[in-house]
Amino acid sequence: MINGNYIKNKAESAGKFVSAFVKWVLISTAVGAAGGIAGSLFHMAVNKATEIRESAPWLVCFLPLGGIVIVFLYKAAKTSGDAGTNLIIGSIRTHTHVPVLMAPLIFISTCITHLLGGSAGREGAALQLGGSIGAKAGELLHLDEKDTGLVIMCGMSSVFSALFGTPLTACFFAMEVISVGVIYYVGLVPCLGSALVAYKVSLLFRVEPTRFSISEYVPSLDFTSVAQVGALSALCAAVSILFCMTMKYTHDNLNSLFSNAYIKALAGGIFIAALTFILGTYDYNGAGMGVIAGALEQGSADWYDFIFKIIFTAVTIGAGFKGGEIVPTIFIGSSFGCAAAPLLGMEPRFGAAVGVVALFCGVVNCPAAAIFLSLEMFGSEGLLLFAAASGVSYMLSGYYGLYSSQKIVYSKVKPEYINVNAK
C-alpha cells in the first residue's frame, strides 16, 4: 500500500521543479525582450557609426579626442573603465555588484570607438549591456545572489544573440565562459529562452544574422581533411595565444607608461590614427567586416592582415577605448585561416571558416559554443570537421584567454581540478 506521505513528498518535489521552470521561463522571456531591444538598438547605432566613418574616413584624426571623451564619461560616472567584461564574468561567480550605469556607458563609448576608427568589436558591449540588464532585473525582482548570477547570464545570452543572430552560441557561451571545464546546465532553460526571445526581437528590428555560405567548399570527411583541419587548428591555437599575450602585454605596459588615463587614451588614439595613415588603408579600423567577408566569401586575404589587426585591437582596447575582442577574433581567424589554408592544401574559404571557429575557441575557452558558432554561421556541412577544429584549438591554446576573470576549473590535459585564472 502506498504511503500518503510518500505521495505528498513526490508531489511537492514535482511542484518545486514546475515552479522553477515557470519562474525562469517568465524571467528569461522578459530579460530576452529587454536584451533583444537593447541589442538591436546597439547594433543599429554601431552600424550607423561605421557607415558615417566609412563615408568620412578622415574622422580617424579625431580618435585621440574620442578617447579623452570616453575617459571623461567613465570618470564622471565614477565607474572604472578597466572592469568591463571581466566584472560581468566575475560577478556571476563572486556575486559582485554590477553598476547599472555600465549599460549606457558601454553603449555610448563603443559607438564613439567605431565612429572614430578604433579597432574593436561589439561583444564586449553585448556582455556588459546584457549583464547590466540582468543585474537590474535581479534587483527589481529581489532575487537572491545565486539567482541574480543566473539572470545576469540570461542578459549576456540575450544581447549576444541579438547582435550576432546566434542564439545557441550565445546560450552556451554564457554557460561555459564563467568557469572553464564546468558548464552551468542550470542556465540552459533561462539562457536559451532569453537568447531565443532576443533573436526573434532582433529579427523584428531587421537585424541581419551573421551568416556565410561555405557549404560548397567543405571537403568530405576523410583522413586528409581531418589532418588538414587539425594542422590549421594547431596553428590557430598558437595565434590565439599570441593574441591573448599581446592584449595583456599592451594593456599592462600602457598602464605602466601612462598613469594618467587621459594621456593614455590620447597616446593610443594618436598611434592608431598615425598607423592608419602610414599603412594607407582603413581595413583594420572598426570591426573590419570587409576583410572578414573577403576571406569567407572570396577566399582573399593578405598574410599580414591578422598581424596588423592584433596590433590595432591591442592598442585600441589597451588605451581605454571600448568595444570587444570577438569580432576582431573573427577577423584574425578568418584572415589567418584564409592565408594559411593553401599552404596545407585546403580551400581558402573553408580555411577561413576553420580559422574563425578555432580562434574563437582558443581565446574564450568555450569548445561547445565554438561548435554551435560554426553551425549557426556556416551551416551543418562540415560540422564534424569544425568540432575537430574546436577540440584541437581548445587543448593546444593552453590556459590563455581574453578574460582574466575567467576561471580554468579543470585541467585541459587530465581530469584534474586546478582552479586558476586565465592568463
Q: What is the pLDDT along the chain (423 residues), one digit of tens a residue?
A: 456 665 666 666 667 888 889 999 999 999 999 999 999 999 999 999 999 999 999 999 999 999 999 999 988 887 765 666 766 776 666 666 667 777 788 889 999 999 999 999 887 777 888 888 888 888 888 888 888 888 988 998 999 999 999 999 999 999 998 888 888 888 899 999 999 999 999 999 999 888 999 989 999 999 999 999 999 999 999 999 999 999 999 999 999 999 999 999 999 999 999 999 999 999 999 999 999 999 999 999 999 999 999 999 999 999 999 988 889 999 999 999 999 999 999 999 999 999 999 999 999 999 999 999 999 999 999 999 999 999 999 999 999 999 888 888 888 888 888 888 887
Beta strands 179-180 and 417-421, pairing class: unpaired
Which residues share a beta bridge with 408? 180, 420
Angle between helix axes 123-140 and 4-55 (nearest 10 degrees) is 140
Distances in whole angstroms, Cα of residue 132 to Cα of each of 28, 72, 84, 270, 320:
14, 20, 11, 31, 20
| pTM across the whole model | 0.92
CA 237 from centroid of its chain's CA atoms: 17
Look at the block and give the residue holding cell 586546478: 418
CA 52 from centroid of its chain's CA atoms: 24
Angle (nearest 5°) at CA 96 between 82 and 359: 55
Dihedral sign from CA coordinates of 348, 353, 356, 361: negative
Residue type, 331: F
Distances in whole angstroms, Cα of residue 100 to Cα of each of 80, 106, 130, 212, 226:
13, 11, 11, 35, 47
pLDDT at residue 417 in the model: 83
Lookup: cell for 213: 555560405
Cα–Cα distance for residue pair 61/250, rounded to 1 Å: 22
324 close to 270: Cβ distance less than 8 angstroms: no
pLDDT at residue 3 in the model: 62
Residue type, 271: F
Q: If we measure between CA atoms, which residue out of 72, 66, 42 comes closest to residue 115?
A: 66
For the chain, how many helices (H) and strands (E)?
Answer: 16, 3
pLDDT at residue 128 in the model: 81
Residue-wise burial string across 98-136, b where 16 or more C-beta atoms lie within 10 A, e elsewhere? bbeebbebbbbbbbbbbbbbbbbbbbbbbbbbbbbbbbb
Say how many residues make up the chain. 423
Look at the block and give the residue holding cell 559554443: 369
DSSP 269: H
Distances in whole angstroms, Cα of residue 366 to Cα of each of 1, 90, 168, 401, 407:
51, 16, 13, 10, 12
Q: Residue 409's CB: how many other CB atoms inside 10 A?
A: 14
Cα–Cα distance for residue pair 423/338, rounded to 1 Å: 28
pLDDT at residue 243 in the model: 97
Angle (nearest 5°) at CA 15 between 10 and 17: 100
Which residues share a beta bridge with 421? 407
Cα–Cα distance for residue pair 283/374, rounded to 1 Å: 24
Beta strands 179-180 and 407-410, pairing class: parallel
Question: Would you report the helix, strand and coil content of the chain in percent, each value rounded to 5?
Answer: 75, 5, 25
Three-state DSSP class for 410? strand
pLDDT at residue 1 in the model: 47
pLDDT at residue 98 in the model: 66
Q: Residue 301's CB: how many other CB atoms inside 10 A?
A: 27
Lookup: cell for 36: 533583444
Distant-in-sequence, close-in-space partners of 414: CB < 8 Å, separation ≥ 6: none
Cα–Cα distance for residue pair 326/120, rounded to 1 Å: 8
